[in-house]
Amino acid sequence: MVEPSDELQVVFEKAIKDAKKLNHEYITLEHLFFAMLCSENFMNVLDGFGIDPKPMKDELLNHLQTKFDEIKVAEGTKFKPKKTQTVERVMNRAFTQVLFSGRAHIDVTDVFLSLLNEQKSFACYLATSSGIEKNKFNEYVNTEYVANLEDEELAGHAQRALKAFTTNLNIEVESGKIDPVIGRQDELESICLSLGRRSKNNVLLVGEPGVGKTAIAEGLAYRIVNKAVPKFLEEYSVYNLDIGAMLAGSKYRGDFEERFKLVLSAIKKQGKTIVFIDEAHMMNGAGTGGGNSSNDLANMLKPALGKGDIKVVASTTWEEYRKYFEKDRALMRRFQRVSIDEPDKKTTKDILIGIKKYYEEFHKTTITEEAIDEAVKLSVKYITDKKLPDKAIDLIDLACSRFKVNNQEENKIVTPDEIKFELAKFVNLPPEQIQQKETNNLNKLNKNLKANVYGQDNAIDEIVDKILVAQAGLKTEDKPIGAFVFMGPTGVGKTELAKQLAKHLSIHLARFDMSEYQEKHSVSKLIGSPPGYVGHDEHSGQLINKLQEHPNCVLLLDEIEKAHPDISQILLQIMDNGKITGSDGKEADARNCILILTTNLGAEQAERNAIGFSHDVDGDYGDEEFRRFFAPEFRNRLDGVVTFGKLDKPIMLKIVGKFLLELRTMLDDKNVVCEITDDALDHLVDNGFDSKMGARPMQRYIDKHIKRPLSKLLLFGDLRNGGSLQIDVKKNELILKPTKQKVENVAEITNN
């Protein structure tokens, strides 16, 4: 779409004002020409052509004041001047010419050239009689005038573009908005070395998000301002190029290219300038609007990069580097790549100590060294989707900001407790899990598990011992806390133990029912679709997503024998490296998870074993079915294979008590007190117990013979408004005896 330039819009507005001031009903070519002669830019064009515009302006004004009585309206008449057909024709002709030339804007000179075709008009007569010949004027406008404009006015435009689309980091440093960079001496030396080259003096910083690529570039500006760089760089300025700002509003073809050329022109003219391009992969395709990529920012920049006309420091991630730069060899060879690795804990601590004063001044707080230690330690342990030092700085900054949110004005001291609280919020964990003394929680873990899972004491002991080793910091860092297989018949507590473990550790339970992954193609549901298949770029896989959301979890793969064998091969990554990679290359950290696989493969063997017997992976399983299903390399990476034995009647009596205790809790909310007789307990054990099916038949028996009739009493019967309930046996059948009046001090459900 072709639109009038800003200058032409001003000219038209003046023509309208002049016509209204003279009480002229119409806007004629003379009004338009007079408004042109009042434009400073157009007067400069005429002056450059060798024509003095002042005589034409005076004569035209006299003509407007004396020769247009026929289009005058009465004084005081309200009207809006209208364009004549001649003016419309001139504008349409100019529009067509500009459209065919491929330009986006109509300028004043375009309208004037069209005006020179109206030979019967006084405006055309005045112009031609003053020595303006159309062909010569057209040639001048498109050659000499453009060149003069580039020489005289382009510099001003370029400086305005430089100010609009870049940020001078040197000025940012002087105003205190940029902190010094700490612990990156080798990387800064490599940057200075590349910048000192004669040609291809450009640097590409490549590293994972959060490792400090942008901070290093800003740190270069900081060192330049403080004269802490080689002498040849001391007078340089670092400008941050904002590609997003250059793209914003560039809706017409050529707008983006024009902006970039102006910026580039200003940089070249200014000299001693380093351009910093953050997220450099945005150069690929920038300014094309999804069209031909041969005219994007990367290709426009290549000539300047190769000749050494400008010095560029760019940054990108490894993922984007492989995606864009490795495919564009011509662009990549113009840069010297500098790898920015994640700093270690000690370096991160030094960085935080070095910059803490800036955060203390900003937040008006005091940050203790213990808080810094805690931020580094906990961020490494719990925040797996970010890198140091970024994630540790985030915790410090959030803890400081919390005082503002709470309107706290005194005792604004950031301690390890504040760091723990912010971490809990950050990773979506219960605050008490991190804030409480972990040793106290772990010390009760064994007891708490045995109080909820009956008859599997040896299995619990083995699991807890493995967790204690990990929490004491004695496990291998690149492996999960533990990887176990729970074997045994159905209903003996394999899944329940995993649930209780997550509950008492206050971490998330990520459960996957392996019956959903029986087909070979179902593997893609866990780790994402392979390249070339639908959804490859859209979904990372359910397992990848779950571990990214909850890196600290109990990962339960229930009934693993139902899954396709290929899934066990995927799990080797977790057991071997503590990580799993999706089909799209994204990694999920599993070093802080507990991997539990449940299976019924060893059910027959479990029935022959002692109750609660367990053995390590190095032992003799005595189960050929288990050996056939799991490959040797898989079995060799397990931390333990725990066999759950069948349940006997004494154990079932405890389980009955647990089920009924849950029932009592439900009834408390209904204001109902429950009592169960010893005969009823014996009846439940005798009738609900099945040595082959475990505890699940008991649950179904309670549901059928207690909960179903009880629901009717609560909804329609004597217990609608509360009361008491006795569960007894009569003629070998359970009976429920309700009482409207709530009984005090009745016998409660027990697990005796």
Q: Which of 580, 588, 582, 625 is nearest to 485 (CA)?
A: 625
pLDDT band for 604, please (50, 70, 90 cuts): low
Regarding beta strands 640-643 and 614-615, do their DSSP bridges make them parallel or antiparallel, or are they unpaired? antiparallel
Top pLDDT among 59 and 261 is at: 59
Query: Which amino acid is it at 117?
Result: N
Helix H or strand E encompassing 311: strand 311-316
Q: What is the dihedral of CA 738, 667, 709, 451, to 10 degrees?
A: -120
Q: pLDDT tens, 297-306?
A: 777 787 777 7
Lowest-pLDDT choice from 160-174, 226-240, 290-304, 396-410: 290-304
Q: pLDDT tens, 699-736?
A: 787 888 888 888 888 888 888 788 888 888 888 888 88
Omega cis (within 30) before 738 = no
| Of the ranges 243-247, 508-512, 655-659, the best mean pLDDT one | 508-512
Enter the DSSP assignment of 707. Answer: I
In the prediction, which pLDDT does 221 show?
Answer: 92
Mean pLDDT of the chain: 80
What is the C-alpha separation between 544 and 534, in angstroms, rounded? 18
Residue 240, pLDDT > 60, answer yes
- Is the Cβ–Cβ distance between 698 and 659 less than 8 Å? yes
- Is the Cβ–Cβ distance between 423 and 411 less than 8 Å? no
Beta carbons within 8 Å of 47's beta carbon, 6+ residues apart:
53
SS3 for 1-33 is CCEECHHHHHHHHHHHHHHHHCCECEECHHHHH
Q: Which of 222, 217, 186 is nearest to 204 (CA)?
A: 217
- Is the Cβ–Cβ distance between 221 and 173 less than 8 Å? yes
Helix H or strand E encompassing 673: strand 672-676
Q: First and final CA of the chain: distance in angstroms?
A: 86
Q: pLDDT tens, 196-213?
A: 888 778 899 998 888 888
